[in-house]
Structure 1
C-alpha cells in the first residue's frame, strides 16, 4: 500500500514538474553518498544549493525523503527508498530520450518507410541500399513495403512512405522528385516449351505473331510504352492478351504458356519454374530504377538515406 502510494506520488511529481532532472540528480547523489557535503562535491554544487533542491523536491512530493539529524548520519526514509528506485528509472529514460533525440537530429535514429517495386528486390538494388545505410545508421529502423510505382508516388505525397524505388515517370506529383539508380536491358520471357525458346536470341520481328502479357498496362507510361517500342522495332502492332499488375504475375502466366512478357533482365533472379529468358537482338531499349523522394524532406534520417543512395550509386537526374 505504501509502495503504491509512493509510486503514485512519483508519477504525479514527474508530470507536475515536467521531470525536473536537476532535483532527481541531487536526490540520488545524496541517497547514494548519504552525506550532503560529499554529494555537493560530486555534483559541483554548494551544499546550501543542494539542500534547497532536496527541500523543493520534498515539498513537491509532499513527503519526507531523507532523515536529517545533526547527531546521526543522513538516511533514507521508507518513502525515500521507494522514490530512489523510481528516480533511477526516470533518469535512465530521460538520458535515453536525450540520446535518441540528439541522434535523430543528426539523422542517426528514427524510422524510414521504403516502398519498392519487385525489380528493386530481384536486381539486388534494395538490399545494397539497405546494407550500405545500415553501416553508418544502425539505430535507424527501416520498414520496407512492396508497392507498384503509381501507388508509391501517391504514398510519397501523403506521407505513407518516405522514399521509394520506382520505375521513373515523365511527370511526378508536386513536391516529389527522383534520381535514376540503375539501368537494365529488356528480355523476352516465355515458357520453356515455346518454339522460340530453342534460340539463343530472338529478333523483334520474330515476335510479331505473339500474344503479350503486359504489367501496368493501364498507365500511359511504363511497360505498355516499352511494348509499343518493341512493335515499332519489329514492324508490327503487339497483341495484348493479358494486363497484370506486376512482373511476377506476368512471368507466372508466361511460364504456363499464356503469352510472352517483356521484362527487365533482373527478373531472371526470380526462380519461376518453366520460364526461359531470351535477349532481343535488335531491340536496345533499356529501363531504369529510380529513387523517388520528397523535394522538401524534413526528416534528417530520410535525408541521410537519400544522400547516401544518390552518392553511392552515382545517379543521374531522371
Structure 2
C-alpha cells in the first residue's frame, strides 16, 4: 500500500516524468518505487513503456480500480477519525429520569444538538437516578440527568439543571386541594400512593424519614414507578400520591398538586458524567445543554 500513491500518479499521468513532477520526487526514485511494487506483486508488469510515456497493462488497469477505491476508503476513514476527534461524528448515550422528561429544556437541548451535530447518533435510555449512576460507573451510558445526591460531585462531574419539589397529589375535589398550609399531619391515616422503594429507594427513604420525624406512620396503599400512574390512581380515588414535580409542571384537570410542610425541600436535578471524561462529543453536548438552560432562564 505504501507504493499506491506513486502508482496512481503514474497511472493518471501516463508519464513517469509528469508523475515525478506532480509528486515532487526524482524520476529515478519514482521508477524504483514502481519496480518495487511490480516485484511485490509477483513481478507483474503494470506499465508498458512507449515512445512517449507509458500505458497501463491489463493488470495495471485492474490495480488502478482497486487503488482508487482503497485510497478513497483511507481518505474517508481519515475524515471520519478527524470528525470523531472534533466531536462531530459518533454516538452519544444519554439517560434521564422522569423529571427531566417533563422539562421543556430536554427537547430544546436535543433539538439544538441535532441541528448543530447531525453526524452524532443519539441513543436514549430513560431510567431512575440510581440506575443511571450504576450505568455511568460501568460506562454503559455517557451522560445522565439525575436528582442530585450530596456525594455526586465527589464521584461525577456535575452541572445543575434546576429544582423540582415534592408535593402531594389529591383529587381536584379533595379538601386539601388549593390548600397552602397542609402538613404531613393532614396525611395521617390517609391511603397513600408512594414511589416504588425498589425503583426509587432514595426518594422512598426521604419520605419515610420525613413521616417518621412527624411521628406519622404512612398508610401505603400502593407503590408506583411513574408520576402518570400516581395521577391515575389518585383520580380514581385510591389515595393521595406523593411525587416530584417541576416548578411549572401541569397536572391533569382531575387532580391537584398540594405543597406539604415537613416534606423534604426542593430537589436539585443535575446533569452528570464520569469525572475527567473529555470526549469531544460529550463536551459538545454538555455545552449545548448548558447554553439551552441559560437561555431558558434568561
TM bucket normalised to smaller:
0.7 to 0.9
Q: Is the 8 A contact 1:201 1:281 kept in 2?
A: no
Per-residue CA deviations over 1:65-106 (Å, capped at 9, x if unaligned) read: 632223264222222222222222211221121122222223
1-structure distance, mates of 2:232, 2:248 = 12
Provide the residue aligned with 1:106 in structure 2. Answer: 86
Match of 2:257 in 1: 278
Alignment partners' CA distance in 2, 1:210 and 1:57: 87
Bigger mean CA offset, 172-181 vs 102-111: 172-181
- 1:58 aligned residue (38, 53, 63): 38
Aligned to 1:5: none
Aligned Cα root-mean-square deviation (Å): 3.3
Equivalent residue for 2:276, pick from 296, 308, 311: 296
SS in 2 for 1:265: strand
Residue pairs, 1:37-52, within 5 angstroms: 37-52=17-32
Q: 1:186 to 1:32 in 2, by over 3 A?
A: same
**Does structure 1 conserve the Cα–Cα contact (< 8 Å) formed by 2:94 and 2:125?**
yes
Bigger relative contact order (CA 8 A; separation at least 6): 2
> Do the aligned partners of residues 28 and 166 (structure 1) sit closer, same or farther apart at CA in structure 2, a change above 3 Å counting?
same
- Go from structure 1 to structure 2 and tell me whether the alpha carbon gap of 1:174 and 1:246 turns closer, same or farther (over 3 Å shift): farther
Aligned residue pairs total 290
CA contact (8 A) 1:204 1:283 kept: no
Q: Which residue of 1 aligns with 2:193?
A: 213
Q: 2:144 aligns with which of 149, 159, 164?
A: 164
Instruction: In structure 1, list runs of 5 or more residues that go unmatched.
Output: 1-18
Mapped partners of 1:174, 1:187: distance in 2: 29
Q: Classify the secondary structure of the residue corresponding to 1:257.
A: coil
Q: Is the counterpart of residue 263 in structure 1 residue 243 in structure 2?
A: yes
8 Å CA contact 1:120, 1:126 repeated in 2: yes
SS of 1:25's partner is: helix
For structure 2, the residue ranges without an aligned partner over 5 or more in a row are none
Q: How far apart in 2 are the matches of 1:141 and 1:301?
A: 10
**TM-score, length-scaled by structure 2:** 0.80
Mark the CA change 1:311 to 1:37 in structure 2 (over 3 Å): closer, same or farther.
same
Equivalent residue, structure 1, for 2:182: 204
Kept in 2, the 8 Å contact 1:215–1:246? The answer is: yes
Q: In 1, distance between residues paired with 2:250 and 2:161?
A: 20
Range with bigger deviation, 137-146 or 305-314 = 305-314
Decide whether the 8 Å contact of 1:189 with 1:251 is kept in 2: yes
Equivalent of 1:74 in 39, 54, 60 = 54
